């Protein structure tokens, strides 16, 4: 395959690229050799996830990447953890038995190298947003689109044989540099599936940018999200510490509300104490 490298259990055919066969403990990936220097782009992926396993007896899933690193195997659906860039996970197996999600589940993660993907929680603590999509063992074509334009990340699916895109993820405030690589990976554990990539097509989006953007070195931007929240609106993390990040609007509102309530309580208590002292002083006279 010109301009593409592959590793692991990946098998290349004339019809598709199979990242993993329907066998246990396999992982594979494909990566483009040419870095992407487009500031606005849209990636269309034609894929197929299928296998002999029945409900919740298959796994683990597929990942689509736009990252600084390439061809580095690891524990995150066959690729590297603590990556730099963007990952879209098509997770087909619920590792967290207490989850309320319906699988298969698509989620997005932006990482500057400091975050670790937690498989035991299905990436809950680092997920930006996600949606349920019935994408496995379909008898029709299944597609996913990733659009990045002017700091907005959008993920859409076409998995219902309707030939139309359905919104899954829409996040503003996403910063991604240019010069990263596109790739796809998949992994299996005790459970397995065939994970096939049929095509990956990249489109340039013609979008006008402010004049000040011309002075920005887009290759030096650090991957980040200005509004980082988990699926449950920034729930506490497993260690009991609130996830670090900028104060969002509702956090500021809660802080101001608590401060106001505290002032009111102190004023009431102070008034009661002052009144009792006044009454005591009158008795002495």
pLDDT in tens, 187-204: 999 999 999 999 999 999
Dig out the tokens for 278 from the structure. Answer: 């006044």
The reply to whether 195 falls in a domain is yes
Query: What digits encode the pLDDT tens for the residues 33-69?
Result: 999 999 999 999 999 999 999 877 899 999 999 999 9
* Residue 236 confidence (pLDDT): 37
Say if residue 172 is in the same domain as residue 277.
no
The reply to whether 237 falls in a domain is no
Say if residue 145 is in the same domain as residue 39.
yes
DSSP-derived pairing of the beta strands 142-149 and 129-132:
unpaired
The residue from 225, 240, 256 where one domain ends is 225
Say if residue 175 is in the same domain as residue 277.
no
Say if residue 89 is in the same domain as residue 193.
yes
* Residue 251 confidence (pLDDT): 60
* Residue 234 confidence (pLDDT): 39
Query: What digits encode the pLDDT tens for the residues 131-166?
Result: 999 999 999 999 999 999 999 999 999 999 999 999
Band (pLDDT 50/70/90 cuts) for residue 266 is confident
Say if residue 213 is in the same domain as residue 257.
no
The reply to whether 214 falls in a domain is yes
Band (pLDDT 50/70/90 cuts) for residue 275 is confident
The reply to whether 24 falls in a domain is yes
The reply to whether 240 falls in a domain is no
Say if residue 34 is in the same domain as residue 84.
yes
Please tell me the total count of domains within the chain.
2
The reply to whether 238 falls in a domain is no
Domain that holds residue 261: 248-284
Could you tell me which residue, 210 or 153, shows the higher pLDDT? 153
The model carries a pTM of 0.80
Say if residue 144 is in the same domain as residue 29.
yes
Say if residue 14 is in the same domain as residue 96.
yes
* Residue 279 confidence (pLDDT): 61
Say if residue 268 is in the same domain as residue 220.
no
Band (pLDDT 50/70/90 cuts) for residue 238 is very low
The mean pLDDT value for 232-246 works out to: 38
Say if residue 126 is in the same domain as residue 257.
no
The mean pLDDT value for 67-75 works out to: 97
195-204, 227-236, 267-276, range with the lowest pLDDT: 227-236
The reply to whether 122 falls in a domain is yes
* Residue 100 confidence (pLDDT): 84
SS3 letters for the chain?
A: CCCEEEEECCEECCCCEEEECCCCCCEEEEEECCCECCCCEEEEEEEEEECCCCCCCCCCEEEEEEECCCCCCCCECCECCCCEEEEEEEECCCCCCCCCCCCCEEEEEEEECCCCCCHHHCCHHHCCEEEECCCECCCCCEEEEEEEECCEEEEEEECCCCCCCEEEEEECCEECCCCEEEEEEEECCCCCCEEEEEEEEEEECCCCCCHHHHHCCCCCCCCEECCCCCCCCCCCCCCCCCCCCCCCHHHHHHHHHHHHHHHHHHHHHHHHHHHHHHHHHHHHC
CA separation for the pair 248, 55 (Å, rounded): 38
Which CATH number do you get for residue 203? 2.60.120.200
The reply to whether 232 falls in a domain is no
CA 156 to chain centre: 13
Q: Considering the chain, what is the average pLDDT of its residues?
A: 88
Say if residue 207 is in the same domain as residue 279.
no
Say if residue 176 is in the same domain as residue 216.
yes
């Amino acid at each position: 395959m010109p301009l593409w490298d592959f590793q692991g259990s990946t098998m290349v055919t004339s019809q598709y690229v199979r990242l993993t066969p329907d066998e246990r403990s396999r992982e594979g990936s494909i990566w483009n050799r040419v870095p992407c220097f487009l500031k606005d782009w849209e990636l269309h992926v034609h894929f197929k996830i299928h296998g002999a396993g029945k409900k919740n007896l298959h796994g683990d899933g597929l990942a689509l990447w736009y990252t600084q690193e390439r061809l580095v195997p690891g524990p995150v659906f066959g690729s590297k953890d603590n990556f730099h860039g963007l990952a879209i996970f098509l997770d087909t197996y619920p590792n967290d038995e207490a989850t309320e999600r319906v699988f298969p589940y698509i989620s997005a993660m932006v990482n500057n190298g400091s975050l670790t993907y937690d498989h035991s929680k299905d990436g809950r603590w680092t997920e930006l947003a996600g949606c349920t999509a019935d994408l496995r063992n379909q008898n029709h074509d299944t597609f996913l689109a990733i659009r990045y334009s002017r700091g907005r990340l959008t993920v859409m699916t076409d998995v219902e044989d309707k030939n139309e895109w359905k919104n899954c993820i829409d996040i503003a405030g996403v910063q991604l540099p240019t010069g990263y690589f596109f790739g796809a990976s998949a992994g299996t554990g005790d459970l397995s599936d065939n994970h096939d990539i049929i095509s990956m097509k990249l489109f340039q989006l013609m979008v006008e940018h402010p004049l000040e953007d011309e002075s920005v070195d887009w290759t030096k931007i650090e991957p980040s999200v200005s509004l980082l929240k988990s699926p449950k609106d920034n729930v506490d993390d497993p260690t009991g510490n609130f996830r670090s990040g900028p104060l969002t609007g509702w956090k500021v509102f809660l802080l101001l509300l608590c401060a106001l309530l505290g002032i009111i309580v102190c004023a009431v208590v102070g008034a009661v104490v002052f009144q009792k002292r006044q009454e005591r002083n009158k008795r002495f006279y």
